[in-house]
Copies of this chain bind each other. A is one copy, B any other.
Amino acid sequence: MTSPNKTHPFPTAESCEEAFYQAIEDADLDAMMAVWSERKTMSCIHPGAPMLTELDDIKESWRQIFTMADTIRFKRYAHSISAEGSLSIHHLREDVLLLDEVVNTVIVTNIFKQEEDGWKLILHHASAEPDLEEFEAEIEEVNAAFSSLSPPSPTLH
Contact = CB atoms under 8 A, between A and B. Distances in A.
A99 interface: no
Contact of A129 (B27, B42, B50, B107): B50
A124 B91 CA distance: 11
Interface stretch (A1-9, A16-24, A82-90): A82-90
Nearest to A134: B50
A73 interface: no
Contacts of A109: 109, 111, 123, 125
Contacts of A82: 41, 87, 111, 113, 122-123
A102 interface: no
A64 to B, nearest CB: 7
Contacts of A42: 80
Interface residues of A, number: 44
Contacts of A111: 82, 89, 109
Interface in A57-106: 64, 68, 70, 79-80, 82-87, 89, 91, 93
B68 A130 contact: no
A14 to B, nearest CB: 17
Contacts of A86: 84
Interface in A1-59: 27, 41-43, 45, 47-51, 53
B146 A45 contact: no
5 contacts: A48-B128, A64-B139, A84-B84, A84-B87, A127-B127
